[in-house]
Amino acid sequence: MKASAVADANIALVKYWGKRNKKLMLPHNSSISMTTDGLSTLTTVEFDKKYKEDIFILNGNKFKKGSEEYDEYIGVFLNFVREFSKINLKVKIVSQNNFPSTAGLASSAAGFAALATAINKSLNLGLSQTELSILARRGSGSATRSIFGGFVEWKKGEREDGSDSFAEQIVPSGYWPEFKMIIGITSKKEKKIKSRAGMAQTVKTSPYYKVWLESVNEDLKKVKEGILERNFPLVAKTAEENCLKMHALMMTARPSVIYWNKGTIEIIHSVLNWKGEGLETYFTIDAGPQVKILCLEKDIDGVRKRLRDIENLKDIIITKPGRGVRIAEKHLF
Ligand code: DP6
């Protein structure tokens, strides 16, 4: 049966950066994110004997077996799905993002959350939200969190088989609609180092990885508490510090992993200056050059006005806490 699902990207406030098990996609630490509103992926899947080989089309581009994108991401995931569901049919997958792919905007998170959900419906697997979160994790770690809306925690879990490594909603999207994220796009190019490779290099070579793991639990506690109390400075300041710690790890990997460009640095300096001008603004940055500015509704106009003076800014997207994954009636083929 043909089935479609929509999922939104999520942006981490406490980052996931490093795997303790690469095959099962198990993280070294828990993480917390906000599911965005409107940075969506729509995916349609159909398993059928009429397909002689798997077909995967993302944003109009066909990815073939043998390419890195296909083999390392979708190919591994589909093999796992067939093994797990005991269904041996080939599949056609068409997926469309409404935002730039692979430039540090969590496209794989939305992509695998939508894909897992569409597969669940199409194969009639009857998976619960928790099981979907575990399935999405096998595609991309951060996808485990995009199953849920609002603010979400991915619990790293302790078990070797990964059965306790899944996401849980902290609060739904309606709990804190004043929480805003302004995504400053500083480059629309594909990034050179994928998160997967960047994090593996960091875990292996950064002398500070151990220090990161020692401090991350405190960040998780503060961000979770801040979300529940709607304490903006507690959440946003901790998120900014956590992001800088993650980038310090990347920079101290050998060879170093640096995702920032001059626009990234220009926005960082601006956000830091705005604090002195009375705006309550903070930032977070993922494995890419885009800067996500965190602020409350009351400061949105002030930020937008000031963003006009940033030279190396290509575009902005304003988002807020959004919904979890859902089935779509519209099919892409
Ligand atoms: C910096 O989930 O893209 O965005 O699990 O290898 O697919 P894989 O990596 P991915 O990494 C996301 C890294 C991050 C932080 C985060 O989202 O928590």
* Residue-wise pLDDT tens digits, 154-212: 999 999 999 999 999 999 999 999 999 999 999 988 788 999 999 999 999 999 999 99
Rounded Cα distance, 154 and 146, in Å: 10
The closest-lying atom of ligand 1 relative to the alpha carbon of residue 109 is 2
Ligand 1 binding pocket, CB closer than 6 Å: 12, 15-17, 25, 31, 106, 108-109, 140-142, 195-196, 286-287
Task: Give, as one character, the DSSP assignment of residue 190.
Answer: P
Distance CA 93, CA 55 (A): 6
Token representation of residue 313: 């800014």
pLDDT tens for the chain, 333 residues long, are: 899 999 999 999 999 999 999 999 999 999 999 999 999 999 999 999 999 999 999 999 999 888 887 888 999 999 999 999 999 999 999 999 987 665 557 689 999 999 999 999 999 999 999 999 999 999 999 999 999 999 999 999 999 999 999 999 999 999 999 999 999 999 988 788 999 999 999 999 999 999 999 999 999 999 999 999 999 999 999 999 999 999 999 999 999 999 999 999 999 999 999 998 999 999 999 999 999 999 999 999 999 999 999 999 999 999 999 999 999 999 999
3 Cα–ligand 1 center, Å: 26
- Compute CA 301 distance to the chain's CA centroid, rounded to the nearest angstrom: 26
* Residue 33, SS3 per DSSP: strand
Q: Are 104 and 285 contacting, i.e. CB atoms less than 8 angstroms apart?
A: yes
Cβ 155 vs Cβ 167: under 8 Å: yes
Distance from the Cα of residue 143 to its chain's centroid = 6
User: Tokens 């406490």 — which residue?
Assistant: 14
Query: What residue owns the CA closest to ligand 1's atom 3?
Result: 195
Spatial separation of the C-alpha atoms in residues 79 and 58, rounded to whole Å:
19
